[in-house]
Each structure stands twice: as C-alpha cells, then as structure tokens.
C-alpha cells in the first residue's frame, strides 16, 4: 500500500531524492566509497557543500547580494542562542513575537543576553492567530519572529516593518513560497521540513551585520567562524547536507519558488475547502492566518473519531494526529507532498 506521509517533521521528501541518497550511502558518485565514510574535506564532498550553498542563495535570489549560506549543527534550538550572541549588544534589547512553542523558546534563550521586548503575543488564544497590533522600539537591536508555527498551524502572511535587523526562524516553511528575502538580515531553518533529514541547520546571514555588537562570542557560536571556514570549522553533517543539496536541485529543476508556491497554494486550498464546507470539521487556526504547510483541524462531533481514525489508517495515511497542545488533527503538506495524497484525505472526510 502506498503511504501518505503527513508527518510534521522529520517529514516527506521527494522519492527521487531518497533514491539518489540511498545509492550514495553505498557508492557515492561511483568512487566505490560511501558518502558517509569519505573525508568532508575531499574534493567530492567540498563540491557538495559548494553546490548546496550556491543553490540556497540562488533559490532565495540572494546570490551576489552580500549573504552567506551556512550549514551548521544543533538544530534551530541552537540558533535561539547563536542569534542573540551575534546580534545583541551588551545590555542591548531585542524584540520578539510570541506566536507559538518555538518562538517562546527562542525568546527565553535571548533573555539571558539582555532585554527582550515581547512586542506581540497570541498566547491568550492558544496561539491560534498571528497578532497584528504591535510597536517596535527604536533602540531595538533586532526583531525576531517565527514565520510558520508548525504546532498551531499559523503563518505570517506579512512581515514586521522595522529599521532594526530582521531575523526569522523559517524552519517549517523555508523554500515554500516566493518572498523578498533581501528584507531579512538573518534566516535560519532546521533541514527536516523542506530540505532533508534532521541533523543540519541552514543559516542565511547578511555578512555586513556581523562583528558589530562588541560581545565576546565563543568560537563555535560565532557566525564569522563558520563563514571563514565555509561551514567546515568542524566535521559537518555530510549526509543531511547532501540530501538537502539534492532536494534544492529538485526544487530548482521544478521551477523554483514560483512553481512550488503555486503547488502549495493548490494543496492547501483543497484541504481547507473541505474543512470549511464539511460540518463534521472545523479549522483550529484563524482563517486569515492559516498555514499552507501545517493544516490543523478538529472534529465537531467526537463520536465520529473512531470511525475517522480507522478510515485514514486503512487508507495508508500516517502522521496526521494533532499535537497535544492543540488536539485534533494536523496535516503537514510540505513541498514534497503530492496533491494526490491530500485528495485521499479529503475523500475520506467527504465520506465520513
């Protein structure tokens, strides 16, 4: 039976990428060695790193605009620490949007470095909307927000306007839509949503903003360290980076962010239309803030739960249970999710 993988992360990846990656584990580029046993400084892997970084900047339309693309370790959770280390002045101040579990964790880390101004929060309604009313102080070092809230199914459609540095955690919607990425000074994202396996973290940073906060930064946590060593200050996670490179090439071959955004909108509309028109279901997030990556929804009649659960399991659907913070269901429909899998879920909902 074909499986329909709606997991929130680690998530679905393109089948052709998985096939190439599996071959590389056994025999990489016909050199009769595995990708995961060759030196990260060998010409073969250096070419992988170079290509992955090039593809990142190409897809985000940042090539030649003074940005570096880094592949690091520690997940987005380590970036919660690295961002204030690198961007907040001694006794400085940062502005944070509190729109979910991960943004709350990010601002908690930043509080160890200086003043954190929570400029807006949707915690009052269990993070089911994106706050629109906020004021950012003029003496703010940087503004931080999470573009897509995986657990709660909300997504920023417009971004904060500020004269401060703009920082965004794009872990769960990176490479899913066309944006003016030059408006951002630093973007970070765990690989395990739209890029590759867990283990690598992408950081895209404007070079000119670094080294200006007069703070002593541990070597490993300094972005300039990793830029100077081309993401190879220590041994990089070679397999996740290779898979990310393959996925980014797959995306470019498809037509880039223009093409994938159209597909993602069509997929989200298909599922949201069923949720809105079927009296047995209701969306968990405010309509104007709904995510195109993580669709959260609830049954309106809990007596139907056993029947619904049995039907989607029999259809080969996996990873659709909602997070405990929200309940109900969460269909994560990242770039590699085919619309046919969403149609399977919609048909089950129609016939419940």
Write out the catalytic residue numbers: 102, 169, 193
Tell me the C-alpha to C-alpha distance, in Å, between residue 146 and each of 40, 41, 152, 211, 234.
Answer: 32, 34, 12, 24, 28
Alpha carbons within 13 angstroms on the beta-carbon side of residue 59 total 29
Rounded-to-integer distance, Cα 67 and Cα 227, Å: 10
Distance CA 252, CA 141 (A): 35
> What's the rounded Cα separation, in Å, for the pair 41 and 54?
18
DSSP per-residue letters across 206-229: EGGGSS-S-----GGG-HHHHHHT
Q: How far apart are CA 291 and CA 152, in angstroms?
A: 9
Alpha-carbon radius of gyration of the chain: 21
Tokens 């992360």, residue?
Answer: 9
d(CA 63, CA 192): 24
Q: Per the structure block, which two tokens stand in for 279?
A: 């009296």
Cβ 14 vs Cβ 209: under 8 Å: no
Contact criterion met (CB below 8 Å) for 160 and 179? no
- What are the phi and psi torsion angles at 115 (to 5°)? -80, 130
């Amino acid at each position: 039976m074909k499986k329909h993988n709606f997991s929130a992360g680690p998530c679905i990846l393109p089948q052709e990428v998985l096939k190439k990656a599996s071959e590389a584990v056994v025999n990489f580029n016909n050199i009769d060695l595995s990708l995961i046993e060759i030196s990260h400084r060998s010409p073969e892997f250096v070419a992988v790193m170079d290509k992955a970084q090039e593809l990142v900047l190409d897809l985000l339309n940042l090539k030649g605009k003074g940005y570096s693309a880094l592949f690091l370790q520690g997940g987005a959770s380590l970036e919660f620490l690295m961002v204030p280390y690198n961007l907040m002045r001694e006794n400085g101040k940062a502005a944070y949007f509190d729109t979910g579990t991960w943004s709350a964790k990010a601002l908690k880390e930043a509080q160890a470095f200086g003043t954190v101004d929570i400029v807006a929060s949707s915690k009052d309604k269990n993070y089911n909307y994106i706050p629109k009313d906020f004021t950012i102080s003029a003496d703010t070092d940087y503004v931080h927000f999470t573009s897509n809230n995986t657990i709660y199914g909300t997504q920023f459609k417009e971004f904060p306007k500020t004269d401060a540095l703009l920082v965004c955690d794009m872990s769960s919607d990176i490479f899913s839509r066309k944006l003016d990425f030059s408006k951002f000074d630093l973007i970070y994202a765990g690989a395990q949503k739209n890029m590759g396996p867990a283990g690598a973290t992408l950081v895209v940073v404007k070079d000119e903003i670094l080294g200006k906060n007069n703070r002593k930064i541990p070597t490993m946590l300094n972005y300039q360290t990793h830029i100077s060593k081309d993401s190879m200050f220590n041994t990089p996670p070679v397999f996740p980076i290779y898979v990310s490179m393959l996925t980014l090439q797959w995306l470019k071959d498809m037509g880039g962010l223009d093409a994938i955004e159209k597909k993602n909108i069509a997929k989200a509309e298909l599922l949201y239309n069923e949720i809105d028109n079927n009296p047995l279901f209701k969306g968990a997030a405010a309509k104007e803030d709904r995510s195109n990556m993580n669709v959260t929804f609830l049954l309106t009649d809990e007596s139907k739960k056993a029947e619904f659960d049995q039907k989607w399991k029999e259809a080969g659907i996996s990873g659709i249970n909602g997070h405990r913070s929200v309940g109900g269901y969460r269909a994560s429909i990242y770039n590699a999710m085919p619309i046919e899998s969403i149609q399977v879920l919609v048909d089950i909902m129609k016939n419940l």
